Chains A and B, each alone.
Chain A
Amino acid sequence: MSSEDISTKLKTKFQHEHQLAYYKSLENKHTTVEFDDDPLSTRMILNMGPQHPATHGVLRVLTELNGERIIRNKLDIGYLHRGVEKIAENKTYQEFMPYTDRMDYLSPYSNNVALCTAVEKIAGIEVPDRAQYIRMIGCELARISSHLLWLGTMVMDAGAISFFIWTFRERERLYDVFDEFAGHRFTVSHSRIGGVASDLTPAALEKIRAFVSEFPNEIRDWKKLLNRNRIFIDRNKDVGSITYEEAIALGMSGANIRATGIAYDIRKFEPYLKYDEMDFEVPTRLEGDNLARYFVRMEEMSESIKIIEQCLAKMEKGPIRVDDAKKAYPSKDEVYYSMEGLIHDFMMTDTGVCPPPGVESYHAVEAPKGELGYYIQSDGTGHPWRLKVNSPSFSNLQGLEVILDGQMLADTVVVIGGIDPVMGEADK
């Protein structure tokens, strides 16, 4: 098909230039896929998304097919672009934090922590130990919560519906934990610059302990069901493979790069919070296919449970926010019963934390999807001059464009499920 064909055949209702450029880029894409000519010689261009239940949001995939095999494909993202980086430049650091909840909306807690640790790094704020342990517990619970959604939807994409309900039952329990622990079920916004919003209540501790003791049984049952399941393995083995060279060259992160054998985990690479004191493993696999990603994420959930147990054992009583009015919100006791407290609270809301002028720094955390980093440039005011989000889903989706070439069309949804992108984060 020549390019004249596309421009005459394309009947768009709006954004014509975009559609044209998109279809043309598919034609111009260099492909290395070798294929036997289909006996029916059915070459077609198929558009999937942005409204498709199996694309996990608003991902659009344009594929050129030869029979059932994908010769080449192009992704189109940006349907959920809200311009959070522009918004960040017009908000104080603390005001911006609730927006991070809405980026990777499957694990809000890690996003809050990612922003707060980045601001604390550039502004030079030391966080009390207890707050760091609380953050770690929250992050690991968020990791489990995110992986549960991945597991449910990925297995559902592969054809098993009932599994989705079991993982969502556990997710629902996690929401209850977050409700007790952070005050919200979903978009928690619990972390604060300089600490966390509230201490763990005895009821929250009890719920976390109950979850930690019972959840490994669930994992055991799921592993029993899936690890040796013929249908599941046939559907995932050697599907969506990528080599480690490609994964590194494409800058993939998180479980997707660990499934190719690279033990790249920010918690070990440049430890933040108290991860250097924790005893945990970074699970890896060598195959780089969808099944390897499944094993990596399943093991990560067990490791998260281990980390939470260690945090609960090591946590000591103490302050949960740094006691410095220039660096963090004062406690509510101070705000309600003293004038200085009220003034400080007002100043924190109005101006907020001001890092030194003209400096810039980068801090990353290991979010459930991979390396989530914030690059901040400060001009000395309470607003960032430039705040760049390095989101893992963005890097992983770029890998998806390479992975999908040469796959069967029916495997597309399984591969997307295995890569586990969140469009809220990729589109910023």
Chain B
Amino acid sequence: MAKEQILKISEAVAAKFGDQVLGTQEHAGDLIVLVDRSVIHDVLKYLKTEHHFIYLSDIVAADRFTEEDRFEVIYNLISLRDQLRFFVKTRCPEIDPKLPTVTDIWHGANWNEREAYDMFGIEFENHPDPRRIFLPEDFKYHPLRKEFPLIGVPGSLELPNTNPDIE
């Protein structure tokens, strides 16, 4: 039942946005619709207004470590009315990784987008508060990128003096 509804919605998205919908993938009951980044804002707005996905559960960013379209961002949407969960995915290149912000659609996207920026360096255009969220502004790396070493970069994070006697 729920699965049919999800299929119907993904077909509706494909019919409305045509070539900009690049494909779908499915595993273990989760259907993910891949769309071009030029229409991602419109797709999400359409899903919210026409299909009642009023609740944004999460935004997942990931590093694919490929030549083109290196980063991807997955929006995890929920329709409380129809008890549905829907995933929309979009990709952006390594150089100049920019996506439109969705804070104007869901206010709750604010911190999730800041997290994606902090961890991967994906910039969200017109974001109201584009700062890092976990790490301090003085830190110059994006730690969840695959090239960032697990051990960290020595000296990259300024720490307070542990000896209170020395000023």
Q: Which residues of A contact B (CB under 8 A)?
A: 13-18, 20-22, 25, 28-29, 77-78, 81, 83, 85-87, 90, 121-122, 124, 246, 248-253, 262, 264, 269-270, 356, 359-362, 364, 371, 373, 375, 377, 385-386, 388, 390, 394-395, 397-398, 402, 427-428
Contact = CB atoms under 8 A, between A and B. Distances in A.
B133 interface: yes
A388 B58 contact: yes
B136 interface: yes
A81 B135 contact: yes
A36 to B, nearest CB: 28
A18 B138 contact: yes
Main secondary structure of the interface of A (DSSP, over half): mixed
Contacts of A121: 28
A17 B133 contact: no
Interface of B: 25, 27-30, 32, 54-58, 60-63, 74, 76, 80, 83, 85, 87, 106-111, 115, 119, 129, 131-138, 143-144, 148, 150, 158-161
A77 B133 CA distance: 7
A251 B133 contact: no
From B106, B136, B150, name the one whose CB has the most chain A CB atoms within 10 angstroms. Answer: B136
7 contacts: A25-B131, A121-B28, A248-B54, A250-B108, A264-B80, A373-B58, A388-B61
A14 B159 contact: yes
A390 B28 contact: no
Given A15-B137, A361-B28, 5 more contacts: A90-B150, A270-B85, A361-B30, A390-B76, A428-B134
A14 B158 contact: yes
A158 B32 CA distance: 46
B28 A377 contact: no
B86 to A, nearest CB: 11
A417 B121 CA distance: 33
Contact of A360 (B27, B80, B109, B129): B27
Contacts of B32: 360
B44 to A, nearest CB: 14
B161 A386 contact: no
Given A25-B131, A85-B144, A248-B54, A17 B138 contact: yes
A361 to B, nearest CB: 4
B136 A18 contact: yes
A249 B108 CA distance: 6
A78 B108 contact: no
B76 A17 contact: no
Given A262-B80, A371-B57, A386-B63, A13 B85 contact: no
A152 to B, nearest CB: 28
A248 B85 CA distance: 15
Nearest to B157: A15
Contacts, number: 124
Nearest to A28: B129
Contacts of B60: 375, 386, 388, 390
Contacts of B134: 77-78, 81, 427-428
B129 A25 contact: yes
B123 to A, nearest CB: 16
A315 B144 CA distance: 42
Nearest to B148: A86
Contact of B55 (A15, A85, A251, A364): A251
A395 B138 contact: no
A18 B111 contact: no
Given A16-B138, A21-B137, A250-B108, A386 B27 contact: no
A269 B83 contact: yes
Contacts of B111: 394-395, 397-398
A45 B33 CA distance: 46
A262 B81 CA distance: 10
B30 A360 contact: yes
Nearest to A386: B62
Given A17-B137, A17-B138, A359 B131 contact: no
Contacts of B83: 269-270
Contacts of A373: 57-58, 76
A242 to B, nearest CB: 12
Given A25-B131, A90-B150, A398-B111, A248 B63 contact: no
Given A360-B27, A361-B27, A398 B138 contact: no
Contacts of A246: 107
Given A17-B136, A248-B80, A362 B30 contact: yes
A58 to B, nearest CB: 12
A252 B54 CA distance: 12
From A86, A87, A356, A427, name the one whose CB has the most chain B CB atoms within 10 angstroms. Answer: A86
B106 A251 contact: yes
B141 to A, nearest CB: 12
A122 B25 CA distance: 14
From B58, B107, B138, B160, name the one whose CB has the most chain A CB atoms within 10 angstroms. Answer: B58
From B27, B61, B160, name the one whose CB has the most chain A CB atoms within 10 angstroms. Answer: B27
Contacts of B58: 251, 373, 375, 388, 390
Contact of A248 (B28, B55, B110): B55
